[in-house]
Amino acid sequence: MTLKLTELDSSNLAGESGPAVQMAMSILIRMSEIQSAKSLISIVSAHIDSALYIGPATLDYAERLVDLGAKVCVPTTLNVAGVDHNGWDRWAVPPEWARQARRQMLAYKSMGCEPTWTCAPYQTEERPDFGDQIAWGESSAVVFANSVLGARSERYPDLLDICAAITGRVPATGLHLVENRSGQVLVRLKSIKSNLLDSDEFYPVLGHYIGKIAGSRVVVVDARGGNPSEDQLKALGAAMASSGSVALFHWVGVTPEAETIQDAFNGKHPEKIIDVSLSDLVRARNDLSSSTSDRLDMIVLGSPHFSLNELRSLGPLIEGKRRHPGVRFLVTTGRGVKLLAEEMDLLVPLMKFGAEITVDTCILTTPMLPSGIRSIMTNSAKYAYYTPGILDREVVFGSTQACVESAVSGKVVKDDRLWVV
């Protein structure tokens, strides 16, 4: 299949806009050919996962682009970096790692990217509108933009995302095209109690279960009586994108492309129907915990990054309490959200409780954990899914309330009442 280029595309490929644009365009065209795209389309924004330092190659790539004079041509936000720029030395981060990671951060900032350093750029920045063509990296951000906002993005891998931002162009393929956004897998919730549907703990568990079955297919959730909040949808999508590779889901009656189930499937029939029972979800919830002991060294909240509403909701749970001295309590969030939270005095209760706040980075992607921390509790299915393999730590999944109670008691405390079959 021949890739059709515009006159400007051809000019950029020929180097008439400089060597950086030429390099980026050549990479995009090669990827377009691999994907059998017929043409390129323009984007209105980008979100870059490549800013994360994971070794010399990612730094060399970024600095090579800078040396070539690269500048982004669309509004471009930055995903988490390899370190908390101003607080890395409070953790076990090797100084040389921090130095290299900060060089990579500066390289992307010098290309004109906004120094947001968050996996949830939709929380404070101007968000894409329905139907906007965008090029976003970071799986949880992509599934949120596609599903909750109705924007159009593929799951852009590291190093390709910045090429899209430099050229403003992407392959016309995948979820950029309306015909590929129709539902493929129908998920029906059967006899799920309303109090469980209302709980924050339900959505990461459901997402973990769906992702393992759906893989990369477009999911449609039909749940009578379910009306999830934005943060609950964030947790649902992040879990689906971790245990599977879901980049778009529709929740009938809630998300913008699914006013009805017919809208979600665009008149097509589901390839697969999944009836989810409470017993299915109980097994999925158990699957998220690798530890069977009550040992607890640390609580981690904010994967994806905590929103302003999540910080606001955490306050009453910890008011008048104090964490156990043997348990660290970490909340990760973005710079913008932290700034807003400080202006609203939302961080004062956390400081009194003994919590720590980290911005810019993700505890999954930076070597910040001291060796003595072996058992971690989290309310995030994404974090619970990745921790044993990436960090070689034991993990326990539980609700935010259970995380707080465990931090106070100094050992794992779980409340299973909502999950009784």
Q: Is-contact 324 407, C-beta < 8 A?
A: yes
Q: What is the pLDDT of residue 126?
A: 84
Final residue before a domain boundary, out of 264, 286, 308? 286
Whether the pLDDT of residue 162 is over 80: the answer is yes
What is the mean predicted confidence (pLDDT) over 198-214? Answer: 97
Same domain, residue pair 304 and 272: no
Residue 175, domain member (yes or no): no
Phi and psi, residue 3, nearest 5°: -85, 120
Three-class DSSP category at 378: strand
Q: Tell me the one-letter amino acid at 86.
A: N
Residue 146, domain member (yes or no): no
Same domain, residue pair 328 and 380: yes
Same domain, residue pair 301 and 280: no
Tokens of 167: 């050229």
Phi and psi, residue 182, nearest 5°: -70, 150
Q: What is the pLDDT of residue 73?
A: 98
Residue 405, domain member (yes or no): yes
Same domain, residue pair 271 and 303: no
Three-class DSSP category at 202: helix
The contacts of residue 214 (CB under 8 Å, 6+ apart) are 184, 185, 187, 240, 244, 246, 272, 274
What is the mean predicted confidence (pLDDT) over 36-61? Answer: 96
Final residue before a domain boundary, out of 286, 307, 335? 286
Tokens of 357: 């706040």
Residue 149, domain member (yes or no): no
Choice among 49-53, 139-143, 330-334, 363-367 with the minimum mean pLDDT: 363-367
Same domain, residue pair 349 and 407: yes
Q: Domains in the chain: how many in total?
A: 3
Q: Which residues pair with 220 in a beta bridge?
A: 186, 250
Q: What is the pLDDT of residue 1?
A: 60
Exposure string of 174-190, with b = 16+ CB inside 10 Å and e = fewer, is: bbbeeeebbbbbbbbbe
Whether the pLDDT of residue 225 is over 90: the answer is no
Three-class DSSP category at 215: coil
Q: Is-contact 232 221, C-beta < 8 A?
A: no
pLDDT-derived band at 190, boundaries 50, 70, 90: confident
What is the mean predicted confidence (pLDDT) over 57-81? Answer: 98
Residue 138, domain member (yes or no): no
What is the mean predicted confidence (pLDDT) over 211-221? Answer: 97
Same domain, residue pair 79 and 198: no
pLDDT-derived band at 221, boundaries 50, 70, 90: very high
∠ CA 119-121-127, nearest 5°, is 150
Final residue before a domain boundary, out of 165, 191, 226? 165
Q: What is the pLDDT of residue 191?
A: 85
Tokens of 54: 């994971």
Q: What is the pLDDT of residue 23?
A: 98
- Cis preceding-peptide flag for 270 (omega within 30 of 0): no
DSSP string for residues in 56-108 = HHHHHHHHHHHHTT---SS-EEE--BSS-TTTGGGTT--HHHHHHHHHHHHHH
pTM (2 d.p.): 0.96
What DSSP element (H or E) covers 322?
Answer: none
What is the mean predicted confidence (pLDDT) over 17-25? Answer: 98
pLDDT, one tens digit per residue, over 247-257 is: 999 999 999 99
Three-class DSSP category at 197: helix
pLDDT-derived band at 65, boundaries 50, 70, 90: very high
In terms of phi and psi (left: phi > 0; alpha: psi -120 to 50; beta: otherwise), the region of 169 is: beta
- Tell me which of 124 and 263 has the higher pLDDT: 263
Residue 368, domain member (yes or no): yes
In terms of phi and psi (left: phi > 0; alpha: psi -120 to 50; beta: otherwise), the region of 376 is: beta
Query: What is the average pLDDT value for the chain, to the nearest integer?
Result: 96
pLDDT, one tens digit per residue, over 265-316 is: 999 999 999 999 999 999 999 999 999 899 999 999 999 999 999 999 999 9
What is the mean predicted confidence (pLDDT) over 226-232? Answer: 94
What is the mean predicted confidence (pLDDT) over 357-365? Answer: 93
Residue 133, domain member (yes or no): no
Q: What is the pLDDT of residue 314?
A: 97
What residue numbers bound the domain in which 119 lies? 7-126+158-165
Same domain, residue pair 19 and 120: yes
Tokens of 221: 């959730």
Task: Tell me how far CA of residue 92 lies from CA of 87, 120, 372, in angstroms.
Answer: 11, 25, 11
What is the mean predicted confidence (pLDDT) over 36-53? Answer: 96
How many CB atoms within 10 Å of residue 43?
26
Residue 153, domain member (yes or no): no
